[in-house]
Amino acid sequence: MRHPDDGAELDPRQRAWVDVEADAIRSNVRLIRSEQLGHATRLMAVVKADGYGHGALAVARAAAEGGACQFGVATLAEGIELRRGGIEAPVLVLGNLIDAASLAQCVRWNLMPTLSDPDQARHCHDLARAGGRRLAVHLKVDTGMSRLGVPLGDALPLAEAIQELEGLELAGVYSHLAMADGPPDGRADAVTRRQQEAFRGLLASLQDREIRCGLRHLANSAGTLRDRALHHDLVRVGLALYGHSPSGHLATPGGLRPALHLRARVTLVRSIGAGVGVSYGHHFISSRPMRLAVVAIGYADGVPRLLSGRMEVLHRGRSLPQVGAITMDQLMIDASGCPDLQAGDTVTLLGSSGAAVLSPAEWSDQCGTIPWEILCGFKHRLPRLPAAAPEAVECGQH
Ligand SMILES: *Cc1c(COP(=O)(O)O)cnc(C)c1O
């Protein structure tokens, strides 16, 4: 049966959406490379978790144009998505693949697995040989994160074993920093220094044994911004790529631009008197007559309910406070200060509007979490749409 609307396109900006500015990603990669990295240092764009919620393929393409030469993903499916999308550059799977079927997929799709034990290495070798191929792999070493990686003391024998397996090519040796976003003095510094020393010690013994270990890498965004000595051959940049600083403790290049702009439509504007309760629980009660606007986005879209009454939105560069409990699909704002706001207008919840910018760190501080979790929290209900740099508009201008 044909429905009356078959073939009719729904406007993806009808309700709430994420504008993704590829040009910001491109320019952030260029900026990080020119201001932070030495000439020989490469940049791996970390595009796991659907490119931190921006859309992995769009981010990978833009990052490649900016000069990223490798990609990092967390899962096999994320790697395959890049390959299906036509990305041919090296892709490293940062997560641990332990079963034969997953490792076989790495061979099939030419994805580099992260290895941290001898069984994994032997498995990969067998699969690569069976496919008549050599598989590029990275060896991960635990220097103090206590997450993935072979224990430091077992790293040298494992690297030697990998070198012996002709089905494998050791394309990289890496580790991950636990506290690079911490303050520049005290424990974060001591832990980071200890990790760096452990990593360097291993690299020196690999060199002594004449083991060719490919690219050596240690730094995430925070490590990249913290100290050039942490860069080695390649840096794995996630958060900074998207235009955000991993920490208030680190100097971040001035020109980083947020690539994500979270926007939603106003669907109703009304006047209420003084003493009127707003939203579930009436946690907000108007103290004066006011203009109240309903915005079509809620916690089911990824706006944390914890932000109720503690966030603002931008309308043409002007800030308006959110009031009352954030509901599943909608939230209310106090539009008293913006008499020109009407139903159908777009408001910005994160990212830029005119000269004003709202950053995920403002949300994460309020919610007791980190900007990474905010960016990864936007749900499928929000379309990710390619967008040009937003124009500067003044409040009151139409
Ligand atoms: C996620 C991740 C990164 C990127 O971290 P950012 O802090 O976002 O730059 C780098 N390396 C590994 C191993 C990761 O899991």
- Cα–Cα distance between 76 and 79 in angstroms, integer? 5
Report residue 4's pLDDT band, with 50, 70 and 90 as the boundaries: low
Closest residue to atom 3 of ligand 1, CA basis: 220
Q: Assess whether pLDDT exceeds 80 at residue 361.
A: yes
27 compared with 397, residue with greater pLDDT:
27
Q: Assess whether pLDDT exceeds 70 at residue 263.
A: yes
94 lines ligand 1 (CB under 6 A): yes
176 lines ligand 1 (CB under 6 A): yes
Closest atom of ligand 1 relative to the 221 alpha carbon: 9
Q: Considering the chain, what percentage of its residues have pLDDT values greater than 90?
A: 91
Average pLDDT, the chain: 95
Q: Assess whether pLDDT exceeds 60 at residue 41.
A: yes
Burial grade of 120 (CB within 10 A; 0-12, 13-18, 19 or more): buried
- Rounded to an integer, the average pLDDT of 132-156 is 97
Q: Assess whether pLDDT exceeds 80 at residue 222.
A: yes
The predicted-structure confidence for 66-116, as pLDDT tens digits, reads as follows 999 999 999 999 999 999 999 999 999 999 999 999 999 999 999 999 999
250 lines ligand 1 (CB under 6 A): no
The predicted-structure confidence for 192-206, as pLDDT tens digits, reads as follows 999 999 999 999 999
236 lines ligand 1 (CB under 6 A): yes
221 lines ligand 1 (CB under 6 A): yes
- 131 in the Ramachandran plot: left (φ > 0), alpha (ψ -120 to 50) or beta? alpha
The predicted-structure confidence for 334-345, as pLDDT tens digits, reads as follows 999 999 999 999
| d(CA 126, ligand 1 centre) in Å | 30
| d(CA 388, ligand 1 centre) in Å | 27
Q: Which residues are catalytic?
A: 48, 280
| d(CA 141, ligand 1 centre) in Å | 15
DSSP bridge partners of 300: none
Q: Assess whether pLDDT exceeds 70 at residue 257.
A: yes
| pLDDT of amino acid 129 | 94
The predicted-structure confidence for 276-321, as pLDDT tens digits, reads as follows 999 999 999 999 999 999 999 999 999 999 999 999 999 999 999 9
| d(CA 168, ligand 1 centre) in Å | 25
